[in-house]
Structure 1
Amino acid sequence: MLTPFGKFCRKLRIDRNEILKDMASKLGVTVSYLSAVEHGKRPIPNEWETSIPLLYQFDDIQRWELKESVIETENLIAFNLNETGENNQVLLKALARKSEDISEEQLKKVFDILK
């Protein structure tokens, strides 16, 4: 699944008639590294917030959209459910669904169990 940053980059490439390899080359990384960043498997390098706008000659709106995609991506926590057992999948999904409804006391109990 693509992160918001990954979606931003994909749209950028489509708009510029580029492929993943073209962008990776411009950024000085491998295709697999760029793909891992876009899928949230690697963090977004800090310098990309400066280098991408320069490489692609962004206007202020595009700079803002890039920044927003970085912020949204950094606020995500991703789990590969294919790499965990069924009970873990059920637990992770339940926590995600109920995360806003869990009280501080309940969170403390969960943390105590996990210690």
Structure 2
Amino acid sequence: MTPFARRVRELRQAQGVSQKDMATALGVTPAYLSALEHGRRSPPNWAMVQKIIGYFNVIWDEADDLQRLAELSHPRVVVDTAGLPERATAIANLLARNIADLDEKELTRLYETLSAILNDRRREEP
């Protein structure tokens, strides 16, 4: 399941709405919505995210959060390290070979570490 899928499912269940009813309201098939909620589909495009935001009547930060989660939720990621340093290729391959074996605690630690490094880097940029 992707972060976006988890959040959409949480919103739908909190409002007591079935996948079928939500799919009808959004103009998609229940099969599409099910695949989206299970992380078996690429994240929806901007227009579909906006429909979902409107459907749940979320505003401001929550709407921004849904859009951000959609951008972070592609279930089949390809990392192109061509032309990057050797270490980048090694890291990408190490993660690809081992990600399925990491537990939730390890994934959280890895995510938080990488996020902190990238956030520090953004703050240092002019």
TM-score range normalised by the length of the shorter chain: 0.5 to 0.7
Which letter does structure 1 place at the counterpart of 2:56? Answer: Y
Given the superposition, is the C-alpha separation of residues 94 and 29 from structure 1 closer, same or farther in structure 2, using an over 3 Å criterion?
A: same
Q: Report runs of 4+ in structure 1 exceeding 6 Å deviation.
A: none
Residue in 1 that maps onto 2:23: 24
44-53 or 3-12: bigger deviation: 44-53
Cα deviation for residue 28 of structure 1 reads 0.9
The alignment's TM-score, normalised by the length of structure 1, stands at: 0.59
Q: Does the alignment pair 1:15 with 2:32?
A: no
Q: Provide the C-alpha distance between the structure 1 equivalents of 2:98 and 2:23, rounded to a whole number of angstroms.
A: 38
How many residue pairs match? The answer is 84
Please state whether the residue corresponding to 1:62 is helix, strand or coil: helix
Residue in 2 that maps onto 1:83: none
Cα deviation for residue 75 of structure 1 reads 7.0
Deviations 1:42-88 (A, max 9, x none): 2233111211122221111210220121022037539xxxxxxxxxx
Cα deviation for residue 39 of structure 1 reads 2.6
Pairwise CA RMSD of aligned residues?
2.7
The alignment's TM-score, normalised by the length of structure 2, stands at: 0.55
Residue in 2 that maps onto 1:59: 59
Given the superposition, is the C-alpha separation of residues 59 and 96 from structure 1 closer, same or farther in structure 2, using an over 3 Å criterion?
A: same
Asked if the contact 2:23/2:30 (under 8 Å) is kept, the reply is yes
Structure 2, gaps ≥5 residues long: 79-92, 100-126
Cα deviation for residue 16 of structure 1 reads 0.8
Cα deviation for residue 7 of structure 1 reads 0.3
Which letter does structure 2 place at the counterpart of 1:62? Answer: E
